[in-house]
Amino acid sequence: MPIPKSRLWTLLPMLALSPLSSALISRNPQSPPLRAIFSDIDGTLVHYAKDFQKHGVRLVSSNEQTLTAIVEGPNGDRRNCRLLPSLTMGPACVSERTIELVEELRAHGVLFCVVTAARKSTMLQRWDLLPACDAHVCEAGSRIWVDGRPDAEFADRFVDVCGPIDRELEGADSRPEPLWQFYRRLREELPDVGLDSRSYYGMFRVSTKDDAFIEDALHDKIETSLPTGVSWSTNLGKYDFYPSAAGKGNAVNYLQNMFGIKQSETACLFDDDNDLPMAEQCGIHMLPGLTSDSVKAAAAQQPSWQIAKTVGQGVFAIEECLETLLERAKIEKRQRQEEEAKSNDIEELLREVEEVT
């Protein structure tokens, strides 16, 4: 259908702005589009009463049979929540509003992936209670599921450090790889540390029980005996040991390459020390909480990092972050639609000009 003459004269000045070429109709955004979000779980996406109560948020009710809860913010706002189980930390809250916001973001074409150090059994227990995700990562990046299917290719990268994923049911005592040799050495030489390998394939966890002497002894072992190919980080006050080729940062980079997404197009939601390598792989940084001193120090040095105004307030803080990202996704979608309409108009105008000339 030809463009009306009145519209033709409106569009003609646009042609004078630049040559009649593909550059005329190309998209030139001022900032990269938001295409993916990688979110930590504990302390970021889901929250524990012992933490958010310090910031004026109250657990009004909790029912572990129905896996539901109600929390109330400092200003009296209430949120209906789901209760997520944990093997060692007790139930945590994720708000229904958080679930809705993630659904809206995905409806706008933004991928949503969770990345946690939690063990496999905890991830599977929580799976249906978490927001719908495009990828799930657990055990400090050593396990990945994409669209609900395990990803063996990533696990093959560090099979020589922790063993094959199909041998996961074997106990830590019988695994010969360096990660598990170090586990057994810690058990033998530091009998006072708390060691946890239950339902872990690619990592194990150590608790120093808030004892400075035990912590110093553990650091000595790390400095003198940590095997090549094994890394560590702190998470929720505990020490996680895992293959250096795994880790949250490497898992995020792997998924970015798989999905064809640039770092600048990726947002990271995080709060703790073991999230920092993941944050380094992303271009947008949002913090609903500041759990560790290392994250507080890093945030102080990074003015572009966005700390929630409701920082520490659990479900209210993560909702604030997701609302901000959703608003960005909506604006970008409108811009894309306007640019597409403009491009279509210009292409049609070019065809009509060719016919006239």
At 106, which amino acid appears? R
What is d(CA 270, CA 84) in angstroms, rounded to the nearest whole number? Answer: 18
CB 120 within 8 A of CB 199: yes
CA dihedral 292, 295, 299, 305 (to 10 degrees): -110
CB 68 within 8 A of CB 297: no
This prediction's pTM: 0.87
pLDDT, position 348: 75
pLDDT in tens, the chain (357 residues): 555 655 555 555 554 444 433 333 344 456 899 999 999 999 999 999 999 999 999 999 999 999 999 999 999 999 999 999 876 777 899 999 999 999 999 999 999 999 999 999 999 999 999 999 999 999 999 999 999 999 999 999 999 999 998 777 788 999 999 999 999 999 999 999 999 999 899 999 999 999 999 999 999 999 999 999 999 999 878 999 999 999 999 999 999 999 999 999 999 999 999 999 999 999 999 999 999 888 999 999 999 999 999 999 999 999 999 999 999 999 998 988 888 788 777 777 777 766 666
Q: What do you get for the CA distance between the two ends of the chain, in Å? A: 18
What is d(CA 50, CA 278) in angstroms, rounded to the nearest whole number? Answer: 26
pLDDT, position 59: 96
* Structure tokens belonging to residue 73: 């913010």
CA dihedral 107, 277, 234, 222 (to 10 degrees): 150
* Structure tokens belonging to residue 71: 């929390």
Partner residues linked to 113 by β-bridges: 38, 135
